Structure 1
Amino acid sequence: MDRDSAPQEITSLVGREVYTNNGVFIGEVEDLRLNLDSENVTGLALHELNRELFGAEISSARGIIVPYRWVQSVGDVIIVNDIVERIQRQKDDEDAEDEVAA
């Protein structure tokens, strides 16, 4: 995000789609987590999550919160680090190890 540009209303983030820097859809911004003392956005509350990434976890939850420090850029869409994909790969690797051990 260009820090020298004119500030925007934080509510303009609501409704934007969130993708990893590899182009994988994560979800849509539903709300923001704020630190009122420092007047900063600390997280993006996402819903309409990608079922392939989150599978069974999303059936029991309303959404997820992505730390704002993961955000790389904000435009028509929001781009975040590929950390979400890495977490999913680790989970898949753990599931595969459990299947082998069973």
Structure 2
Amino acid sequence: MSKSPEEITTLVGREVYSNNGVFVGEIEDVRLNLDQQAVTGLALGQLNRELFSETVQLGTGVIVPYRWVRAVGDVVLINDIIERLKQPEESEEVVV
């Protein structure tokens, strides 16, 4: 018996973590390219406030490009690039 392909709606509700194990958010919807019949992004809500407090207003979500996805299982793993949002910018010295 062959396993049938999963419906993309099964992604909704799954938690998203970075490769380093940091919680990013929960999938609320998917962005599709109908011409290519491919998922192009994941719309996340229930965001990790530590990661997004500086860049996203409370109560809003973000769309993560699907190319960042590394693994899909009980949870979705994405590149750790998302954690760079939280890191303080390198000190920039102004040269006069």
What's the TM-score bracket when you normalise by the shorter of the two chains? 0.7 to 0.9
Conserved in 1, the CA contact under 8 Å of 2:52 and 2:85? Answer: no
Deviation at 1:7, TM superposition (A): 1.4
What is the TM-score when the length of structure 2 is the normalising length?
0.85
Shift of 1:62: 1.4
More helix per residue: 1 or 2? 1
Number of equivalences? 92
Does residue 1:44 correspond to 2:42, yes or no? yes
Which residue among 51, 72, 75 is the counterpart of 2:73?
A: 75
CA RMSD of aligned residues (A): 2.0
For normalisation by structure 1, the TM-score amounts to 0.80
Aligned to 1:31: 29
> Partner of 2:55: helix, strand, or coil?
helix
Q: CA deviation at 1:18?
A: 0.1
8 A Cα contact 2:50 2:86, kept in partner: no
Structure 2: gaps (5+ residues): none
Tell me the amino acid that sits aligned with residue 80 of structure 1.
Answer: I
Superposed displacement of residue 64, structure 1: 0.4
